[in-house]
Amino acid sequence: MKKVLLTTLILFSISTTSAFAEEAFSVSSRDRGITAFDYVVTEVEQREGISVLDIPKFQERSAQASRWMMCVYTELAMSKNAKYWSSIYTDNSGDKVTIVFPQSDSLQDKAFTGVDFLGTQPTIAPVARFKGFCGLK
Between vectors from CA 44 to CA 136 and to CA 55, what angle results, nearest 5°? Answer: 65
Answer whether residue 3 is part of any domain.
Answer: no
| 8 in a structural domain | no
Inside any domain, residue 37: yes
Q: What are phi and psi of 43, to 5 degrees?
A: -75, 120
Tally of CB atoms within 10 A around 11: 10
How far is the CA of 43 from the CAs of 4, 68, 101, in angstroms? 38, 16, 14
Q: Confirm whether 6 is domain-assigned.
A: no
Structural domain count of the chain: 1
Q: Does 57 reside within a domain?
A: yes
For residue 30, is it within any domain?
Answer: yes
Beta-bridge partner residues of 96:
54
Residue 5 lies in a domain: no
- Mean pLDDT confidence for 5-16: 38
Range of the domain at 60: 23-134
Give residue-wise pLDDT tens across range 102-134. Answer: 999 999 999 999 999 999 999 999 999 999 999
Considering only the C-alpha atoms of the chain, give the largest distance between any 2 of them, rounded to a whole number of Å.
Answer: 64
Expressed in angstroms, the distance from the first to the final Cα of the chain is 53
The reported pTM is: 0.82
Q: Within a domain: residue 13?
A: no
Min mean pLDDT across 14-23, 55-64, 97-106 is at 14-23
